[in-house]
């Protein structure tokens, strides 16, 4: 069985560079292999996804190349305590 | 006649209470042992749950509404977003929106996912004894392995903290979060 949102993820990765030329920092709403819309906020994209697809899966991601979430405070203390 | 008078009196009282609650900035105080605060950081217990929009859809579909999950969160001003362990995100049934979300801490956690959910705080009113404030922030919540550490279930990042004033007293071990009303 394939992982949830795998198709959408691949579609986003494939097209993200192209979309970033015109929609940088906006939020893409994707269902299967189709870009449903581009929104200014994640909340707008989420509300659009809920109203179109209800409880079904849909994919939202900000159009930023190579985004990582920085949680720098998860530093030495927790790494040491773990061991 | 008496009933109407009593009802009016009750309405008046509840309006008065509501006014008092509305005029209050909900405040949560946490007291730590000084060395524990320095060593572990401010860890608080609070809830993660689904948003109202998500809840409405579940109700319309006559599906069960998941209970909020109580978690141990580190207040992390260094974290850009709020983050929980994968199992907490799944248990709380918040809405999955993305499966690519690399998390950078020590190295990069490539298992990161994204959800939309609610961080819920319940705090007692200082002005109305017995009354409680429900404060919440609906936000994008990342999930990751958090290095499998046993001390916390997640991090509360700046996406949630931007709605609070934080007071950190390293000398006394007291940490205060004051919710900033919109």
DSSP state of B79: B
- Kindly tell me if the per-residue pLDDT of A16 is higher than 80: yes
Structure tokens belonging to residue A76: 């030495």
The pTM assigned to this predicted structure is 0.87
Angle between helix axes B52-60 and A42-53 (nearest 10 degrees) is 0
| DSSP secondary structure of A33-68 | TEEEEEESSHHHHHHHHHHHHTTS--EEEE--TT--
* Minimum Cα–Cα distance from A80: chain B residue: B149
Q: How confident is the model at residue B119 (pLDDT cuts 50, 70, 90)?
A: very high
Asked if the C-beta of A80 comes within 8 angstroms of chain B's C-beta atoms, the answer is: no
Nearest Cα residue in chain B from A52: B57
Rounded mean pLDDT, B26-40: 95
Please check whether residue B72 is in contact with residue B156, taking contact to mean a CB–CB distance below 8 angstroms. Answer: no
Q: What is the mean pLDDT of residues B18-36?
A: 93
| 8 Å CB contact between B96 and B86 | no
Does A59 sit within 8 Å of B97, measured CB to CB? Answer: yes
Task: Give the pLDDT confidence score for residue B5 in this predicted structure.
Answer: 87
Residue-wise pLDDT tens digits, B123-150: 999 999 999 999 999 999 999 988 877 8
Which residue in A68, A49, A65 sits closest to A57, CA to CA? A49
A46 touches chain B (CB under 8 A): yes
Q: Strands B174-179, B27-31: parallel, antiparallel or unpaired by DSSP?
A: antiparallel
Look at residue A76 in the predicted model and tell me its pLDDT: 40
């Amino acid at each position: 069985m394939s992982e949830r949102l795998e198709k959408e993820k691949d579609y986003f990765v494939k097209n993200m560079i192209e979309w970033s030329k015109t929609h940088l920092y906006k939020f893409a709403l994707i269902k299967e292999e189709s870009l449903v819309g581009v929104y200014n906020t994640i909340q707008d994209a989420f509300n659009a996804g809920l109203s179109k697809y209800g409880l079904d899966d849909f994919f939202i991601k900000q159009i930023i190349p190579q985004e990582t979430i920085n949680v720098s405070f998860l530093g030495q203390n927790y790494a040491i305590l773990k061991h | 006649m008496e009933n109407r008078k009593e009802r009016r009196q009750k309405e008046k009282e509840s309006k008065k209470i509501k006014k008092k609650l509305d005029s209050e900035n909900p405040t949560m105080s946490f007291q730590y042992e000084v060395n524990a605060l320095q060593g572990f950081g401010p860890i608080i217990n609070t809830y993660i749950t689904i948003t109202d929009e998500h809840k409405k859809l579940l109700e319309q579909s006559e599906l069960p509404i998941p209970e909020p999950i109580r978690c141990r969160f580190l207040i992390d001003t260094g974290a850009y977003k709020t983050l929980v362990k994968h199992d907490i995100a799944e248990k709380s049934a918040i809405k999955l929106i993305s499966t690519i979300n690399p998390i950078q801490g020590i190295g990069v956690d490539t298992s990161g996912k994204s959800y939309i959910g609610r961080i819920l705080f319940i705090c007692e009113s200082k002005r109305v004894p017995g009354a409680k404030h429900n404060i919440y922030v609906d936000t994008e919540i990342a999930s990751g392995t958090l290095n499998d550490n046993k001390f916390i279930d997640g991090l509360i990042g700046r996406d949630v903290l931007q709605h609070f004033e934080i007071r950190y007293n390293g000398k006394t071990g007291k940490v205060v979060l004051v919710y900033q009303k919109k």
